[in-house]
A and B are shown apart, each in its own frame.
Chain A
Amino acid sequence: MPASQPQPQPAQTAHADADDAADLRIIASIKAGDSAGWSALVARYQDRVFATCVRMIHDREVAGDLAQEAFVKIIQGVGQFDGRAKFSTWVYRVTMNVCLSRLRSEKLRRHASLDAPAGGRAGGSSRGESLSDSGREREPGGRASVEADEERELVLAALRLLEPDQRAVLILCDCRGLAYEQIGEVLGVAVGTVKSRVFRARTALRDAVEQVSRERRGGRPRNAAGGSIG
């Protein structure tokens, strides 16, 4: 069976080892009661954790709150980290759990509310609508860059229409570049299940992109979860 993801090169392995060593130093520092370790941990992971939250929730304010909540859980739970997985994997696991819990409670709240708008997004709020328009995320460049930006914006809009579980696998796989084995550890499922979920999420995303394109040409939005290759 062919490798489903490119194998890491020696330089990447060395870099990963250095990363792991840095993580272990931070963990030891926190376990020893040195709160400077908190600061080091946040500085090291804040962009990754925040990016995960913001892609899951599509609202920078809420994502900031969730990232903060995730960090508190991570720091408080460092003592429970047993080292069987990579620390970064564990960080993503905690972060993703926080985001999914939030999305589930949002969903419950929407169901409980008689005023809930029909066909709403799977998460987030109107405050995050212009997320991808923020200057920080726009790359400088010419027409190619503008087209790339447009496509990215389209894909991000479609991503919002996916179910949280599908969104999670795509974010971990594509946005964060985790290997399928790592995604399995984050989500607590087998690698085969991860691959199946990733492919179905890609199919759903493709359908959602088409839906958003149609919608922008003058159509009505609908939930795009599911879909097929055909």
Chain B
Amino acid sequence: MNGANPNNPSGPVSEERLLDWVDGALTPEQEAALARASGRAEIAERIAQMRRHKSALARAGVVQAPADLHDRVLAAMERESLLGIAGGEGEIPRDTIKFKAPRTAWSSRLPHLAMAAGLTLLAGGLAYFGAVAWRAARVPLASNSGGPGATPGRTDEPRLAVADSPEATGLAAPGEPAEDAAAVRTFAASESAAAMRTPTAAAEAEPISINRAMELAAERRLAIRVRAREPDDFVAVERAGMTRTGDRQWSVSRDVTPHAASLLLAATVGSDPVQLPGNAFASAVFSAERLVAPLVGLGAGMPAPADARLARVRGTYMLDVAATERTLGVLRDLLRDRMQAHVTFEELGEPVESADQIGASDVLWWTREPSRWVERVRVPVLVESDR
């Protein structure tokens, strides 16, 4: 601040006093005294200039925001909330979990016991897989069954059967219900089709655009495949998606119908839709068998490429999402960025059966939060490992 003027009886000429003058907070007498004290004739004119600039800036203070700013902020907030989720929001901080127990003679032996149990399991596992591998090596490949070098008498083995009739394949046992037999037959046919396709065929297909994805979503034929190095990261997304907070444009659940699961798995092995018995139990058995088969030997007859792909599957989910290109695009990009995943839209062979039941809130749609006014679609999601 400027120093005091000792020649001025009315007070010091300071920046603060001059600012008061600009603000019109001084009386005319005070202004005149200040002008005299400053010793500058042009000071009044300069103060007047400052006042004009002040009012010019006041007039320039009104600026209308762009029309899209509101929507941009809300979209950014939606994105930010997703980022928070993918970053592990909602997880229990590790340092809050503390295990404290007095060490006893028994507990001190626990690590040794665990190590011994682990070694036993490892040895047993190696022995088992060795036996399975030895057995598999003795069985000729399906593609060789009809070839010139095929071993006579092997063509009647069930695992090689791709013929149309159950009798010819030997898959239909006498007295087996026709429906289940048909299901198994379709399954076998589709598996053989998958075996004939190259594993990279799906990867080489044209990627589905957002526009096309929207069309497929409207037809209930859209699926999302998430292939990640760490597929378990999806758990954080799932956890957050199950918690309905605020105005989130999506939610995720494990409520995957058997039909949707079969479509997803069929898409995974690159076959036509698998006709499964229409109940959850059968589907569960199917899934369990397909996933566990390579481990326990039941899938000895299954084509290797299909098994390899199914073995990568870590989970199936149902995504409930606003049917907008923006939301789909944001979800895809975020999963891609945060999980370091390869995220693709895929076309299902047939529409996913709707499991929705119309409730009061569907009729009284305006009672929901605004984000739920947008039409929503249910999209099955398949999460798999890329290893």
Chain A interfacial positions (CB closer than 8 Å to B):
2-6, 33-36, 38-39, 42-43, 46-47, 49-51, 54-55, 60, 64, 67-68, 71-72, 75-76, 132, 136-137, 139, 148, 151-152, 154-156, 158-159, 170-171, 174-177, 192, 195-196, 198-200, 202-203, 205-206, 209, 229-230
Contact = CB atoms under 8 A, between A and B. Distances in A.
B77 A2 contact: no
Nearest to A60: B66
Contact of A195 (B15, B26, B40, B62): B15
B46 to A, nearest CB: 6
A87 to B, nearest CB: 17
B61 A42 contact: no
Interface in B38-69: 40, 43, 46, 49-50, 52-54, 56-66, 69
B179 interface: no
Contacts of A196: 1, 15-16
B57 A155 contact: yes
Given A2-B25, A202-B22, 15 more contacts: A4-B16, A50-B63, A51-B63, A60-B66, A72-B77, A152-B56, A155-B60, A171-B57, A175-B61, A195-B16, A199-B15, A199-B22, A202-B54, A209-B49, A229-B18
A3 B20 CA distance: 7
A14 B259 CA distance: 63
B370 interface: yes
15 contacts: A4-B19, A33-B246, A51-B63, A54-B63, A67-B73, A68-B76, A75-B73, A152-B59, A174-B53, A177-B58, A192-B16, A195-B19, A202-B54, A206-B49, A209-B53
Contacts of B247: 34-36, 38
List the 3 shortest-distance A-B pairs measured between CB atoms, nearest first. Answer: A35-B247, A175-B61, A174-B57
Interface of B: 1, 15-16, 18-20, 22-26, 30, 40, 43, 46, 49-50, 52-54, 56-66, 69-70, 72-74, 76-77, 80, 245-248, 369-371
Given A196-B1, A202-B53, A46 B19 contact: no
A42 B247 CA distance: 15
A152 B77 contact: no
A47 B63 contact: yes
A64 B25 contact: no
A174 B46 contact: no
A42 B70 contact: yes
A167 B340 CA distance: 43
B16 A67 contact: no
A12 B299 CA distance: 80
Given A36-B247, A202-B54, A230-B40, A177 B73 contact: no
Nearest to B247: A35
The residue among A5, A174, A199, A203 with the most chain B CB atoms within 10 A of its own CB is A199
A75 B80 CA distance: 11
A170 to B, nearest CB: 6
A174 B58 contact: yes
A199 B19 contact: yes
A230 to B, nearest CB: 6
B80 A76 contact: yes
B373 to A, nearest CB: 12
A177 B19 contact: no
Contact of A42 (B62, B74, B248, B369): B74
B369 A36 contact: yes
A39 B370 CA distance: 11
B20 A72 contact: no
A34 B56 contact: no
Contacts of A4: 16, 19-20, 23, 25
A6 B20 CA distance: 10
Contact of A34 (B60, B69, B246): B246
